[in-house]
Amino acid sequence: MNTVATLNRASRRACLSALTALMGVTLLPTALAQTPAAPAAPVAADAFVQEMSNDILNTVKADKAIQSGDLSRVLSLVDGKVLPLVNVQRMTASAVGRHWRTATPEQQKRLQEEFKLLLVRTYSGALAQVKDQTIAVKPLRSQPTDTEVIVRTEIRGRGDPIPLDYRLERAGNTWKVYDFNVLGIWLVDQYRSSFAQEISASGIDGLIAKLAERNKAGGKA
């Protein structure tokens, strides 16, 4: 089962914009680290998303290498700045579904590695498409004590706005992303369906082999 072909062109562009937005999140902890003394107050989830989005869009627009599609630079940037702010294990386990519990520790490790690379390679091309987009964060519907929230946003630029929603979990005084929704489809749910078919056909090792094959092909369908 082709795990990438299920995303149409609009979905890929929007998902990639999601990853570009995720990169900016590291600027916030960096700024806090440079401020001495008092413990930082918890960051509101909507403010977190808005600030990281603005920061990363400005960064990408100013980076000629990213805009030209330099994959090695994109991968380095994502590995160093994005992934530490994403709960990759939770995303992988959710995408694999009930089969995650029966996978061996080695299989879980391989699945996580290949799924992470699939996400990065599949969506890295959209970084070069960032031109004049902005992110508008919608009013947050949650309580201060909530440890998991959904932040709804829109990517605005040329053409119609693209809905993009984040599922976040509280991690100390900040947040981590564990899923996002593009054009009404939660990414983890979409992968879960195709992963389940691959596992039914060829088992966990078969899914690992299929993901590795896609990654070697550069994440292309």
Res 208: pLDDT: 98
φ/ψ of residue 165, rounded to 5: -115, 145
Are the C-beta atoms of 188 and 91 separated by less than 8 Å?
yes
Query: What's the pLDDT at 24?
Result: 40
Q: What's the confidence (pLDDT) of residue 44?
A: 92
* CATH fold label, 9-34+41-216: Nuclear Transport Factor 2; Chain: A, (3.10.450)
The pLDDT value recorded for residue 206 is 97
Q: What is the pLDDT of residue 39?
A: 54
Report pLDDT for 121. Answer: 73
Note whether 123 and 16 are within 8 A (CB): yes
User: Hey, CA dihedral for 92, 138, 12, 218, is it positive or negative?
Assistant: negative
pLDDT tens across 28-42, in order? 333 334 545 555 667
Paired tokens of 195: 């992963």
pLDDT (0 to 100) of residue 124 = 63
pLDDT for 33 equals 43
Sites in the chain below the pLDDT cut of 70: 1-41, 81, 122-129, 219-221
Q: What is the pLDDT of residue 73?
A: 76
